[in-house]
Chain A
Amino acid sequence: MERELICCNGLTKSYAGRRVLDGVSLRLGQNEFVSVLGPGKCGKTTLIKLLSGLERPDAGEVFMDGAAVSSPSPKRGVVYQNTLLFNWLTVLGNVRYPLRKLGRQESLSRAMKYIELMGLKGFEKAYPRQLSGGMKQRCGIARIYAMKPRVIFMDEPFSQLDAQTRYLMQLELEKIFLGEGQSVLFVSNNIEEAVYLSDRIVVLSPSPSRVVKEFRLDLPRPRNYLSPEFVRIRAEIERCLSEVCDG
């Protein structure tokens, strides 16, 4: 693995006395794409909250570049499962919000670039209440891409998109990931998507969850959904997940 960017050890978290995460350890290298798969409600969102500094673990630690992570920071971008936008700002305003330090011209052109990339051109003056769920999601993604954080956490970012848009978004994400040298930690409920995008796939058990299995994917990019190798590894992960889900 290349240089390590994020690493966590023995993350444990309980809500109201119920243990959700039970000693999760992960690492994420620089410019590495790691996907997390797991049964529903196993604590994937919780894991992202802990890794990004949004919440603190009960036990265990998170490090980024060797420094402990204890609060949210613009170095770590999070695309939430339920996109939260500032509803008094337009799409453009939302995407520009994190870019205010850049200066007017630069922030405007960068925001517009990613708004366009996410297929929201023509909606930059729209307010969140005028957008569909999928458009809000894409606006949230544009906002994070435009920030260019060192690491992007994505929590089922494409779940509300139709199949066609989803496919386009996967292609864009791969381009951005390959082009910008960022790291991505990607939570998905779609195995095919994860196999297409990831360098590594981590499988979690049902909660209280821990890492049960890791797959390394060395297929050359761009990957072909129909190549025998792709189909084989996809089937293997599917089998693993259904075993995990059954207990």
Chain B
Amino acid sequence: MWHLATDVWHLTSPKLLPGPVKVFEDFIAKFSSKRSDGATLPDHTWSSLVLVLKGYFFGVLVGMPLGIMMGWSKWVRRFIRPLFDLLRPIPPVGWLPVVLILFGIGQEGKVFIIFFATLMPCVLNAYSGITQTGESLLTLAQSFGAGRVKQLFFVAIPSALPQLFTGLRTALSTSWATLVAAEMLAAQKGLGHMIQINRMNSNPSYIIVAMLVIGVTGALFSLVLGLAEKLLRRS
């Protein structure tokens, strides 16, 4: 349909919406060309990937244990929950101005934003997953001689596993979307930047290429996490 509308019937100007053939050609060319936005497609993609994975890694590393402890311990909950209720409504990109002031336009700032984008879904899902562990399951484990620590690791966490994975998945897709948005606002490289620059240079086919790569990468992320979850549940 896209092909018909553009290349065959010429309903729109190629300046506004290029046809799939042109997009595909540009996609191939962009692998080595730095034209228009200063970097090749692999460079942009790699730059975005590294940022997202760094931020995600630290976000999960902090967020999961924090959420689990919040769900498990009344004391941790009492102290940290109010802080989270306060931070939760702030969208990750909302940190951008603060980050720009603190870190400038460089990569660290974006890692920090991704860290936040990851932290929230991880903490919230882990927290609710752990608090939903049936009290009777814990008592059952206790009646088999499991102490508090074993109840946490062998009952609460396994029973919350589906929600922990929901957290991981939500966090990854949020991070990815957030990164693109952040790059559109302030960056020198990356897929979001590629979109932004090519909008200004009126290069619509590059924009479409970037969007496709963003979409496919996002889908790959969910696929990988889905497989990981299956493997973990099988063992």
Contacts and interface: CB of A to CB of B under 8 A. Distances in A.
Indicate, yes or no, whether A interacts with B: yes
Nearest to A85: B140
A71 B151 CA distance: 15
Contacts of B154: 97
Interface string A100-139: 0100000000000000000000000000000000000000
A231 interface: no
A101 B139 CA distance: 19
A52 interface: yes
B159 interface: yes
Contact of B143 (A54, A88, A101): A54
Given A54-B139, A72-B139, A88 B145 contact: no
A84 interface: yes
Interface of chain B: mostly helix, strand, loop or mixed: helix
A74 interface: yes
B137 A88 contact: no
B160 to A, nearest CB: 10
B143 A52 contact: yes
Given A88-B159, A88-B233, A73 B139 contact: no
B142 A72 contact: yes
A147 interface: yes
Nearest to B142: A72
B155 interface: yes
Interface string A147-191: 100000000000000000000000000000000000000000000
Given A73-B145, A98-B145, A84 B159 contact: no
Contact of B161 (A76, A88, A98): A88
18 contacts: A54-B139, A72-B139, A72-B143, A74-B143, A74-B145, A77-B143, A84-B136, A84-B137, A86-B137, A86-B158, A87-B159, A88-B161, A88-B233, A89-B158, A97-B144, A97-B154, A98-B145, A147-B144
Interface of B: 136-137, 139-145, 154-155, 158-159, 161, 233
